[in-house]
Structure 1
Amino acid sequence: MTDSPSRPSEEAVEAAILAVASQPGAAKTVTPEDVARSVATGPDWQSLLPSVRRGALRLAQAGQLVLYRKGKPVDPSELRGVYRLGLPPAA
């Protein structure tokens, strides 16, 4: 028996990113912490932040998500530090 709760798959994290980002509407952004808390099965949501970052980068590279830094879109390859997540503008 293990003491740690099961970790969500990368696909589950990506689905959670899109679900949380779509809740407030396209004009709003969410934090990685919001996503981590939504998929955490226990109090240790901080340990999911690296998975959220990896998932966000994959989704941004696929054009399904926009990463923001200081309120402006940022290229996924140039992401550093604090960031927010949002859906791409509706075409």
Structure 2
Amino acid sequence: MGEETDARLEATILDLLSRRAPGATICPSDAARAVGPEDGWRDLMEPTRRAAQRLVDAGEVDVTQGGEVVDLATARGPVRIRRR
């Protein structure tokens, strides 16, 4: 996985969110499935979380758990991504 995949994941997260209503969320697996092969998208889950963190750092998105904004570095379990 390289810079090209990282850029595709970031762009895919933003694209998926742009297709949703304001305040709606996506699961990181939605982006991983869109970028990865049908049988290999799980390998993209950690890179997708890192892409989401870069977008958080850029002020583009928030990562939530149970509807509350969380720090992705310390969040355990399923998270969601939404536009900031």
- TM-based fold match above 0.5: yes
Amino acid at match of 1:41: P
Segments of structure 1 that go 5 or more residues without pairing to the other structure are: 1-5
SS, match of residue 37 in structure 2: coil
Question: Are residues 1:38 and 2:25 paired?
Answer: no
Which of the two has greater strand per residue? 2
Segments of structure 2 that go 5 or more residues without pairing to the other structure are: none
SS, match of residue 26 in structure 1: coil
Q: Matched residues in 2 for 1:10 and 1:67: separation?
A: 17
Write out aligned runs for 1:9-88 (5 A).
9-88=5-84
Instruction: Give me the TM-score of the superposition, normalised by structure 2.
Output: 0.84
Residue identity (%): 31
Q: Deviations over 1:66-87 (max 9, x none)?
A: 1001111123444332100010
Computing the radius of gyration from Cα coordinates, the structure with the larger value is 1
Once superposed, what is the RMSD of the aligned Cα atoms?
Answer: 1.9
